[in-house]
Amino acid sequence: MTSMVKPKISKHLPTNELGLTIRNYEGSMSTLCAGCGHDSVTAALVQAFWELSLAPESAAKVSGIGCSSKTTAYFMGQSHGINTVHGRMPSVATGANAVNGDLHYIGISGDGDSLSIGFGQFAHAIRRNLNMLYIIENNGVYGLTKGQFSASADIGSTTKRGIPNEQTPIDPCVQALTLGAGFVARGFSGDKSQLVPLIKAGLMHRGFALIDVVSPCVTFNDHKGSTKSYAHTYKYYHPLVHTDFVADADEITGEYEADGGMSVTLHDGGILNLRKTASDYDPRDKAQAIDTLMQPRENGEIRTGLLYVDENMADMHEANALPDQPLNKVAYKDLCPGSDALGGFLKGYC
């Protein structure tokens, strides 16, 4: 088969600031299973980028290998995309970002891609505070190879045939917190109203923004006994923080402050309005965030929302003293020192 072009009928649809409709943010037709959580994440991404009025050419999509990684073809068809090798998307994103920090980097990965084969690159991209939105579409299972457990499968969660997982799961949010990420969130593909603001906030956060999205696999991990099924996730879904993203300061209302909420101004534009849903949770307190996630899951609750945010960390560009003009646009005459300099340099070798 070849990839299918999605018909784009934009008539009567509202336009954003760029005059684009939501159709302009879609990509080719998804080839995932009907009902796949990943397609809901794709829909949330399309919604978020349309709402942000993101210029298609200002975004670059990066992914690895797996069901989740395929989805970069299914949104923003007018943006460049690179579907790299398994588990190695962070390195490609690092190089791309180093030479052009003006683009928005959107990385889509999965639990196999990020927590097994690509665990090292995932960790080091966080350590470098690479400025990108990094989404893990987390379903606890390998879909394309037909149902093996991934590293995020919970202890006791079973395969379709009833065999339980006995290995400790890796929680990407806990890992990201310990590695120094400045934006750590968890969402659920079934809650678009929570996910869209998180995506917008993550994209505008300067630095590494992780959103771990529980995204059920309808074919291999949606049965009774699975802790990453739709039914299980809906049942134990527990938002800790409510997040709203607004594009500019004028839109702040007093409502959140009266409610004990807080506002976070992002360096690249926009404001995050956060409201606590659990009375004692503070998304500025890393120790508390780690502690909360490490606690045994009372009643099996899946804690979601913006778990931690620190918008003031230096990103990779700053740490490397890179210029404002992207390196890929620096003129050759400014890169080559010329023959006189060569002669001078070689004097030290005579």
Partner 1 sequence: MNVVADIQADVRVNDFVIKIANVNGTGSASANGLLMKAIFRMGVPVVGKNLFPSNIQGLPTWYEIRLTKDSHMARSGSTEFMVAMNAETYAQDLKEVAPGGYLLYDNTWPRPDLHARSDISAIGVPLARLCNAEFDNARTRVLMKNMAYVGAVAGLTGLDVGVIRGLVEEMFGTKAHLIEANMKAIQIGLDAIAEVHKEPVSLKIEAMDKTAGHVMIDGNTAAALGCLYAGATFGAWYPITPSTSLMDGFKMVCEKYRVDKETGRKNYCIIQAEDELASVGMAIGASWNGARSFTPTSGPGISLMSEFIGFAYYGEVPLVLFDVQRAGPSTGLPTRTQQCDLQLAAYASHGDTKHICVYPADPKECFEMAVQAFDLADRFQTPVFFMTDLDIGMNDWMVPEFDWDDSFQPDRGKVLGKDELEKIEKYYRYEDRDGDAIPYRTIPGEHPKGAYFTRGSGHNWKGGYTEDGGEYKEVLDRLTRKWESAAEVVPGPIIVEAAEPTKRAIISIGGCDGAVREAMTRLQKDGVHVNYLRVRGFPFSAEIESFIDAHEEVYVVEQNRDAQLRGMLIGETNVEKSKLVPLLDYAGMPADPTFIYEGVKAHCLNAEA
Rule CB under 8 A: which residues touch partner 1?
1-3, 28, 55-58, 60, 62, 72-73, 77-85, 88, 90-100, 102-103, 120-121, 123-124, 128, 320-324, 327-328, 330, 332, 334-339, 341-343, 345-346, 349-350
The smaller minimum CB distance to partner 1, of residues 6 and 192, is found at: 6
Q: Which two tokens stand for residue 185?
A: 């969130």
Q: CB of residue 19 vs partner 1: minimum separation in angstroms? A: 13
The smaller minimum CB distance to partner 1, of residues 161 and 347, is found at: 347
Beta bridge partners of residue 272, listed in sequence order: 245, 264
Q: CB of residue 257 vs partner 1: minimum separation in angstroms? A: 38
The smaller minimum CB distance to partner 1, of residues 128 and 286, is found at: 128
The smaller minimum CB distance to partner 1, of residues 13 and 327, is found at: 327
Q: CB of residue 6 vs partner 1: minimum separation in angstroms? A: 13
Q: CB of residue 128 vs partner 1: minimum separation in angstroms? A: 8
Beta-carbon-side half-sphere exposure of residue 37 (alpha carbons within 13 Å) = 32
- Cα–Cα distances (Å) from 205 to 183, 209, 215, 330, in that order, read 7, 7, 23, 26
The smaller minimum CB distance to partner 1, of residues 6 and 223, is found at: 6
Q: CB of residue 345 vs partner 1: minimum separation in angstroms? A: 7
Q: CB of residue 225 vs partner 1: minimum separation in angstroms? A: 33
d(CA 125, CA 208): 8
The smaller minimum CB distance to partner 1, of residues 36 and 54, is found at: 54
Inter-residue long-range contacts of 158-167, CB under 8 Å, 24+ positions, other chains counted? 158/223, 158/225, 158/226, 160/220, 160/221, 160/223, 162/225, 164/225
Q: CB of residue 115 vs partner 1: minimum separation in angstroms? A: 16
Run of H or E residues at 272: strand 271-276
Q: CB of residue 139 vs partner 1: minimum separation in angstroms? A: 21
The alpha carbon torsion through 139, 144, 146, 147 (nearest 10 deg) reads -20
Phi, psi of 165 (to 5 degrees): -80, 135
The smaller minimum CB distance to partner 1, of residues 3 and 253, is found at: 3
The smaller minimum CB distance to partner 1, of residues 123 and 313, is found at: 123
d(CA 220, CA 226): 10
The smaller minimum CB distance to partner 1, of residues 31 and 263, is found at: 31
Q: CB of residue 306 vs partner 1: minimum separation in angstroms? A: 28
Residue 169 DSSP one-character state: P
Phi, psi of 321 (to 5 degrees): 50, 45
Non-local (6+) Cβ contacts of 92 within 8 A are 62, 82, 84
First to last CA, the chain: 63
Q: Which two tokens stand for residue 316?
A: 């990779």
Judged on CB neighbours under 10 Å (0-12, 13-18, 19+), 342 is exposed
